[in-house]
Structure 1
Amino acid sequence: MDMIRDLASMKAAVIFTKSSCCMCHSIKVLFYEHGASPAVHELDQEADGREMEYALQRLGCNPSVPAVFIGGKYIGSAKDVISMHVDGSLKEKLIEARAIWF
């Protein structure tokens, strides 16, 4: 779990994904459209991806991907991020974490 916490705090926005997950792709595109450049960790392409997925589950990430962290804090899964986008709070969080500037 320490590895996840370390990776999650290395950049203002971090997304743990799988390359075959369509919702993961949608969340990455949403971040790019906001002007953010998140660190993306594709669990199915990382040597220790399976361990990382188990650690995400132990941290309460359900489903395990996409798992989105902003400012080092777990924000949620695709459903949570899309809800935040709709109500405008996603952009605010990205600005607060300095993932985007306006």
Structure 2
Amino acid sequence: MDYIFQLASQKAVVIFSKSSCCMCHAIKRLFYEQGVSPMVYELDELVNGKEMERALVRLGCDPPVPAVFIGGKFIGRTNNILTLQVDGSLKKMLKDAGALWL
């Protein structure tokens, strides 16, 4: 799990994803459309992807993707991110983490 947090702290927004996951695609698109360029780890394309999935499950992500970290902090999965977007607090979090400048 330490490895997950190490990766998550290397950029303002980090998304753990799978290339075949439609919800992952929707979440990535949400960030791209706001002008955010997240670091995306496609777990199905990584040698240690299964190990990373197990770590995300231990963190409370079940299913493990998409898992979003902002400013090195685990924010949540699809429902959490969409709720933050709807109530307007996602943009503030992104600004505070240095992912948005507007």
Q: Aligned-pair distance for 1:59? A: 1.1
User: In structure 2, what is the equivalent of residue 40 of structure 1?
Assistant: 40
Query: By how many angstroms is 1:63 displaced?
Result: 2.3
1:78-93 paired onto structure 2 within 5 Å:
78-93=78-93
Q: Counterpart of 1:18 in structure 2: which amino acid?
A: K
Residue segments in structure 2 that go unaligned for 5+ positions in a row: none
Percent identity over the alignment? 63
Which structure is higher in helix share? 2
Compute the RMSD of aligned alpha carbons: 0.6
Cα shift at 1:62? 2.6
Return the letter of the residue paired with 1:64: P
Partner of 1:26: 26
The equivalent residue for 1:77 is: 77
| 1:66 match | 66
Report the secondary structure of 1:40's partner residue: strand
Give the equivalent residue in structure 2 for 1:96. Answer: 96
* TM-score, scaled relative to structure 1: 0.98
Q: Secondary structure at the match of 1:44?
A: helix
TM-score (norm: length of structure 2): 0.98
Deviating above 2 A after TM superposition, structure 1's stretches of 4 or more consecutive aligned residues are none
Aligned partners of 2:50 and 2:63: how far apart in 1? 14
Deviation per CA, 1:41-80, whole angstroms, max 9, x where unpaired? 0000000000000001111123210000000000000111
